[in-house]
Amino acid sequence: MPTSKAMMPIPVASRVNRFSYAIRNIVAEARAVEARGMRIRYMNIGDPVAAGFKTPPHLIETVTRAMRDGHNGYLASAGIPEAREAVAADYQNRGVHVSADRVLITTGSSEGIDIAINALVNEGDEVLVPLPTYPLYTAALAKIAGEARYYRTDPDRDWLPDLDHLRSLITPRTRALVVIDPNNPTGAVYPPATRRALIDIAEEHGLVILADEVYGELGFEGRVPLLGTLDPNAPIISSSSLSKAYLAPGWRTGWMVVAATPRLDPVLVAMKKLADGRLCSPGPMQYAVAAAMNGDRSHQVSLRRALAERAQVTTEMLNAIPGIHCVAPRAAFYVLPKIALPPGRTDEDFVLALLRETGILCVHGSGFGMAPEQGFMRIVFLAEPSELRSLYGEIGAFTRDYLQRT
Ligand SMILES: Cc1ncc(COP(=O)(O)O)c(C=O)c1O
């Protein structure tokens, strides 16, 4: 006979309560709305392939050839030499001198960032994270009881970091500074003076910079320079991947590049040790890294053009809606408009009402750390411009109506 204890639900670890990922969590509500018969228009997740952009054929060919050629076994934990060398050569061509042994190939940049945070942060240690932030950082910290300290970025100054606020958050327990440039969810690109100041602050306080450069190829005016070009000795760990700029997010293939300063050698050793624990990142896809770095990149030219056009439609149409204001993005495919909510309403109330009444799915700003009453929401503008126009028409009609409700 089972005891009464055997009938009890199995408890989960308390860290799960600290963990949240609004970008994906909100999809559960969308499924419920869909089950009631409404068509959902997904403006919540930054997947260019889902929006119809095509993975470059030479990359697909390289991966399928790798599979056919039998490259289906485990690989070295840090990645295949060809991929590591190609990433190092790419960074060198862009002005960051780093050798292949400082490159790790990871399961998307997500895993690499998780590995770096695990290598750096003890329980109770603090990491400076931009506000709003891409939630990967706070989620990774939640799992290991690290503390995220949010530094403000300012919508009245093109979403640039508030450096005084950032400085005021530094304590003896601060270990790292996350810089997401170009930025998700704001679309900001930081000018050299801001980047220089961020490096100086990190140097002054002995912080490691986690430079998230996953959108670096997607500046509307061309490639955004790597942060490391400003200072080869700065303690920067840069991350990027095939997901966005090479249109293959499902391949889960990314890289971490640890700057060539001996100060970071122990961290590099620790990251490699942690990487051993998960054996290797997906094998056949690693072969696409060298093909991506060395092969045809013309898709990026057309992608940048397509994104710039969509950004313009987005900014014009959103700013024409009474009660909505947005800062024009300068890279990537995100915008974070502010809705002038009536008192007592939250960003999530707005996003859920929009979803239930129109089927349009966006993510509330509080999913990126913003205060709920500030009324921000993130829109992914990857759809065709004609479709975007009609979506913004619907968002406008909904917003006019919503803001009149008491
Ligand atoms: C700023 C930022 N960093 C990292 C990632 C993770 O990308 P991946 O793990 O696919 O490389 C994303 C994905 O949207 C992102 O927006």
CA of 308 to the centre of ligand 1 (A): 20
- 332 Cα nearest atom in ligand 1: 16
- Checking if the pLDDT of 254 tops 80, the result is yes
Beta strand 41-42 pairing with 360-361? parallel
* Structure letter (DSSP) for residue 131: E
- Contact at 8 Å (CB) between 264 and 210? no
Average pLDDT value for residue range 42-64: 96
What local confidence, expressed as pLDDT, does residue 3 receive? 61
What local confidence, expressed as pLDDT, does residue 344 receive? 94
Contacts 24+ apart (CB under 8 A), 28-34: 29/352, 29/355, 30/355, 30/361, 33/355, 33/356, 33/359, 34/359
- Contact at 8 Å (CB) between 225 and 200? no
Q: Which one-letter amino acid corresponds to residue 215? A: Y
- 240 Cα nearest atom in ligand 1: 11
Q: How far is 43 from 184, CA to CA, in rounded Å?
A: 14
Residue with tokens 């450069």: 213
CA of 344 to the centre of ligand 1 (A): 33
CA dihedral 133, 105, 253, 61 (to 10 degrees): 150
- How many CB atoms are closer than 10 A to CB 381? 27
Beta strand 126-131 pairing with 147-154? parallel
CA of 55 to the centre of ligand 1 (A): 17
Is residue 372 classed as helix, strand or coil in its secondary structure? helix
**CB 182 near ligand 1, within 6 Å:** no
**CB 110 near ligand 1, within 6 Å:** yes
Element (H, E) at 334: strand 334-335
Pocket of ligand 1, candidates 237, 243, 286, 307: which has the most ligand atoms within 8 Å of its Cβ, to mutate?
243
What local confidence, expressed as pLDDT, does residue 1 receive? 56
- Contact at 8 Å (CB) between 353 and 377? no
On the question of a common fold for 15-44+299-404 and 57-294, the answer reads no
**CB 217 near ligand 1, within 6 Å:** no
Residues 94-144 pLDDT 10s = 999 999 999 999 999 999 999 999 999 999 999 999 999 999 999 999 999
What local confidence, expressed as pLDDT, does residue 349 receive? 95
| 292 HSE (CA, 13 A, CB side) | 30
Pocket of ligand 1, candidates 49, 106, 107, 109: which has the most ligand atoms within 8 Å of its Cβ, to mutate?
109
CA of 215 to the centre of ligand 1 (A): 9
Which residues neighbour 204 within 8 Å (Cβ) at sequence distance 6 or greater? none
Q: How far is 275 from 281, CA to CA, in rounded Å?
A: 9
**CB 44 near ligand 1, within 6 Å:** no
Is residue 233 classed as helix, strand or coil in its secondary structure? coil
**CB 283 near ligand 1, within 6 Å:** no
Average pLDDT value for residue range 155-167: 98
**CB 180 near ligand 1, within 6 Å:** yes
| 248 HSE (CA, 13 A, CB side) | 26
**CB 249 near ligand 1, within 6 Å:** yes
Token pair for 215 = 């959108």
The fold of the 57-294 domain, in CATH, is Aspartate Aminotransferase; domain 2 (3.40.640)
- Checking if the pLDDT of 26 tops 90, the result is no
**CB 136 near ligand 1, within 6 Å:** yes
Residues 295-314 pLDDT 10s = 999 999 999 999 999 999 99
Helices (H), 208-282: 265-276
Q: How far is 315 from 220, CA to CA, in rounded Å?
A: 14
Domain spans in the chain, listed from the N-terminal domain onward: 15-44+299-404, 57-294
pTM above 0.85, yes or no: yes
Which residues neighbour 31 within 8 Å (Cβ) at sequence distance 6 or greater? none
Is residue 256 classed as helix, strand or coil in its secondary structure? strand
CATH architecture of the domain 15-44+299-404 equals Alpha-Beta Complex (3.90)
Phi and psi torsions of 42, nearest 5°: -85, 110
- Contact at 8 Å (CB) between 380 and 46? yes
Token pair for 251 = 């391949």
Residues 332-390 pLDDT 10s = 999 999 999 999 999 999 999 999 999 999 999 999 999 999 999 999 999 999 999 99
- 252 Cα nearest atom in ligand 1: 10
Residues 215-233 pLDDT 10s = 999 999 999 999 999 998 9
**CB 286 near ligand 1, within 6 Å:** no
